[in-house]
Amino acid sequence: MTGQSLQPIRRRSIQRLTEGTWATGRSIWSADTEGRDVTVDRIEVTEQPAPAHVAAALGLVPEDAVCVRSRRFVLDGRPVLLSTSYLPAGLVAGSLIRQKDTGPGGIYARLAELGAEPVRFREEIRCRMPSGDEASRLGLTPGTPVILICRTAFAAGGRAVELNEMTLDSASYVLEYEFDN
């Protein structure tokens, strides 16, 4: 997008993850981008042994299989987010989560159908300079850092059902958090 700047995406972390978003068939992305042109232009769904850090987060052993969903999100023609979700393969076997198109409400609506509805989330946020691959895939200008968000979704009883690692173009986002006392 030469010559124009992207209107920042206001990522309202708490509001976007409410059941009222995904349970009604909306994607959590729609909470951030109402009325804007959002596409997922690269989707890969695979199964692989859980990397050690993923196994630890999901309460698995490294040999256990995970379903891996890798996506690149493009807003108004500009790549802004790389996202990789890891889910226990046994939990999501035979579900739409294993397909490129997960259907209305996305992964969290499908998890609810499987009896593993997310009821709590934890996000860890860091910043760093991008790898060469990340810079290329996001089309970053030199010197632009990325924001890393690692979100774990938990079902009732505390079972971790998804680990999502996101890499955001820092120039494209405003992270907003609102808390009640």
Does the pLDDT of residue 2 top 50, yes or no? no
Q: What is the mean pLDDT of residues 144-151?
A: 96
Per-residue pLDDT for 36 more than 50?
yes
Decide if 2 is inside a domain. no
| Residue at 42 is within a domain | yes
Residue 157: the pLDDT is: 95
DSSP state of 64: S
**Domain, as residue range, for 135:** 16-176
| Residues 34/11, Cβ–Cβ less than 8 Å | no
Residue, of 114 and 21, whose pLDDT is higher: 114
Please indicate, yes or no, if residue 59 is contained in any of the structural domains: yes
- Tell me which range, 10-19, 39-48, 69-78, 154-163, is most confidently predicted by mean pLDDT: 154-163
Position 1 scores a pLDDT of 39
10 domain residue, yes or no: no
Helix (H) / strand (E) containing 149: strand 146-155
User: So what's the pLDDT on residue 82?
Assistant: 97
- Whether residue 8 lies inside any domain: the answer is no
Looking at the structure of the chain, the number of domains it has is 1
Residue owning tokens 């996001």: 138
**Which tens digit of pLDDT belongs to each residue from 89-113?**
999 999 999 999 999 889 999 999 9
pLDDT at 19 over 60: no
Hey, is 96 helix, strand or coil? Answer: helix
CATH of the domain at 125: 3.40.1410.10
Whether 39 maps to a domain, the answer reads yes
- CB–CB of 151/121 below 8 Å? yes
